[in-house]
């Protein structure tokens, strides 16, 4: 007997027990849909975040104090020596081929106006900060070089901060209170949405000199350098090392955008695999459902197996008939599951803020995994059926 015949027999058997077939399939449908949807969410989030990092420009370098290995880091204590504004100026003078050097301080604080207040992240930099922070001004201006030199109490605010504190009024020229000091709002930004470094709309931007005074610091957290072009990144990196090594030895690290991206991708990739794993468990449960039903089906159809064997069915014929039934259930369930998962992911992307991205790779994997589940869980019941003794099977009531 050929494969087409086995296939036809299996389909007929599935059609004969429609309700049971559909319920069995449901397990696989849910499993596959969950895999597609969750992996879609994982991939979507990964794409969006790496996209944001890339959006900052691939020609950025981040210089941080302390030594970080290739791994995730975290085993170091606080770095013994931090960078100062002088280091930033030194780099600006001695490293060629760069557009901007921005000393950055980041700190959490609360900003107030009247009786309203909002938690913010204070991002402090030099007048060149707009080169590295991104964001589009909705009104007003950023702080100027003179204001940085003077340590002026001026602030540019993110859209959330503006909406909470000013509620539709134009904030430019108004005053707010930060760390007990009065600041003049010089500009405000358009909404960027949720982002990599938390919510960028809840950030406020002040001159780095002002930040040192208000937070009582004599150092900066990071020095961000923008190379004139992405191809020069490695050269610039070497130059930075050359300039800083005499002062700090090995106690600093230069991250390129690429490294940061790699790190993030690893992390988010792991997250995606975790989601896939959780969804995979439900697919496994669906597979066990198939096995259960196939076992019931085999014992219910013992007599049929006996008849088939009596008229000439070989072990292989019975085996393939039942395996094809199981695989048919799982493949059909897989196709429906992929459609549902994909549809769900599309709806989610459209109607919720969660980004999703269903890749052909995920679809193919889910499909073959589902088919594999059918084979794996179908073989044992089918093997059991194929080993029945025709004499015993024919007598079975």
Of the candidate residues 215, 316, 361, 368, the single one contacting another protein (CB under 8 A): 316
Q: Which is nearer to another protein, 17 or 365 (CB)?
A: 17
Query: Nearest to residue 181, comparing CAs of 208, 221, 205, 213?
Result: 213
Of the candidate residues 23, 310, 347, 364, the single one contacting another protein (CB under 8 A): 310
- The site map against another protein for 264-303 (x = CB under 8 A) is ---------------------------------------x
- 164 scored as a contact of another protein (CB under 8 A): no
Q: Which is nearer to another protein, 19 or 311 (CB)?
A: 311
Q: Which is nearer to another protein, 161 or 313 (CB)?
A: 313
Of the candidate residues 78, 311, 353, 360, the single one contacting another protein (CB under 8 A): 311
Q: Find the shortest distance in angstroms from Cβ 11 to another protein.
A: 13
Of the candidate residues 78, 168, 312, 360, the single one contacting another protein (CB under 8 A): 312
- 368 scored as a contact of another protein (CB under 8 A): no
Span from 134-142, 282-290, 357-365, 387-395 in contact with another protein (CB under 8 A): 387-395
- 150 scored as a contact of another protein (CB under 8 A): no
Q: Which is nearer to another protein, 2 or 167 (CB)?
A: 2
- The site map against another protein for 13-32 (x = CB under 8 A) is ---x----------------
Q: Which is nearer to another protein, 261 or 307 (CB)?
A: 307
Q: Which is nearer to another protein, 2 or 136 (CB)?
A: 2
Q: Find the shortest distance in angstroms from Cβ 307 to another protein.
A: 5
Number of residues that bind another protein (CB under 8 A): 23
- 384 scored as a contact of another protein (CB under 8 A): no
Rounded to whole angstroms, the Cα distance separating 246 from 268 reads 37
Q: Find the shortest distance in angstroms from Cβ 315 to another protein.
A: 6
Whether 204 and 154 have beta carbons less than 8 Å apart is answered as no
- 309 scored as a contact of another protein (CB under 8 A): yes
Token representation of residue 93? 């003078």
- 390 scored as a contact of another protein (CB under 8 A): yes
Q: Which is nearer to another protein, 273 or 316 (CB)?
A: 316
- 190 scored as a contact of another protein (CB under 8 A): no
- 213 scored as a contact of another protein (CB under 8 A): no
- 11 scored as a contact of another protein (CB under 8 A): no
Q: Which is nearer to another protein, 16 or 114 (CB)?
A: 16
Residues 6 or more apart whose Cβ sits within 8 Å of residue 319? 382, 383, 385, 386
Using H for helix, E for strand and C for coil, what is the string for the chain? CCHHHHHHHHHHHHHHCHHHHHHHHHHHHHHHHHHHHHHHHHHHHHHHHHHHHHHCCCCEEEEEECCCCCCCCCCCCCCCCCECHHHHHHHHHHCCCEEEEEEEEEEEEEEEECCEEEEEEEEEECCCCHHHHCCCEEEECCCCHHHHHHCCCEEEECHHHHHHHHCCCCCCCCEEEECCEEEEEEEEECCCCEECCEEHHHEEEEEHHHHHHHCCCCCECEEEEEECCHHHHHHHHHHHHHHHHHHHCCCEEEEEHHHHHHHHHHHHHHHHHHHHHHHHHHHHHHHHHHHHHHHHHHHHCHHHHHHHHHCCCCHHHHHHHHHHHHHHHHHHHHHHHHHHHHHHHHHHHHHCCCCCCCCHHHHHHHHHHHHHHHHHHHHHHHHHHHCCCHHHHHHCC
- Binding-site ranges for another protein (CB under 8 A): 1-2, 5, 9, 12, 16, 303-304, 306-317, 390-391, 394
């Amino acid at each position: 007997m050929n494969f087409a015949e086995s296939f036809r027999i299996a389909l007929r058997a599935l059609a004969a027990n429609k309700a049971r077939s559909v319920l069995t399939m449901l397990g696989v449908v849910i499993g596959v849909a969950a895999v597609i949807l969750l992996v879609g969410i994982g991939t979507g989030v990964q794409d969006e975040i790496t996209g944001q990092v890339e959006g900052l420009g691939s020609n950025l370098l981040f210089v941080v104090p302390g030594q970080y290995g290739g791994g995730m880091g975290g085993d170091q204590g606080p770095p013994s020596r931090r960078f100062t504004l002088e280091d930033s100026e030194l780099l600006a003078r001695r490293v060629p081929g760069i557009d901007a050097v921005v000393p950055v301080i980041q700190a959490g604080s609360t900003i107030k106006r009247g009786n309203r207040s909002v938690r913010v992240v204070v991002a402090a930099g030099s007048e060149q900060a707009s080169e590295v922070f991104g964001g589009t001004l909705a009104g007003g201006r950023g702080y100027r070089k003179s204001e940085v030199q003077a340590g002026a109490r001026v602030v540019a605010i993110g859209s959330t901060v503006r909406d909470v504190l000013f509620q539709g009024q134009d904030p430019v020229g108004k005053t707010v209170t930060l760390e007990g000091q009065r600041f003049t709002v010089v500009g405000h930004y358009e909404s960027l949405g949720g982002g990599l470094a938390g919510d960028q709309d809840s950030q406020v931007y002040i001159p780095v000199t002002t930040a040192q005074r208000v937070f009582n610091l004599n150092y900066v957290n990071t020095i961000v350098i923008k190379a004139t072009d992405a191809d020069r990144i490695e050269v610039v990196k070497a130059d930075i090392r050359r300039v800083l090594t005499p002062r700090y030895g090995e106690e600093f690290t230069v991250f390129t955008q690429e490294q940061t991206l790699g790190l993030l991708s690893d992390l988010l990739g792991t997250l995606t695999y975790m989601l896939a794993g959780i969804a995979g468990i439900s697919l496994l449960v669906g597979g066990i459902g198939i096995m259960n039903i196939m076992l019931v089906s085999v014992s219910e159809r013992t007599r049929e197996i006996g008849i088939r064997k009596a008229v000439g069915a070989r072990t292989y014929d019975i085996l393939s008939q039942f395996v094809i039934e199981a695989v048919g259930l799982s493949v059909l369930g897989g196709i429906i599951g992929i459609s549902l998962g994909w549809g769900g992911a599309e709806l989610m992307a459209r109607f919720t803020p969660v980004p999703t991205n269903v890749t052909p790779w995920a679809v193919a994997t889910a499909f073959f995994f589902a088919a594999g589940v059918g084979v794996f869980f179908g073989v044992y019941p089918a093997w059991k059926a194929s080993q029945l003794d025709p004499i015993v099977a024919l007598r079975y009531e």
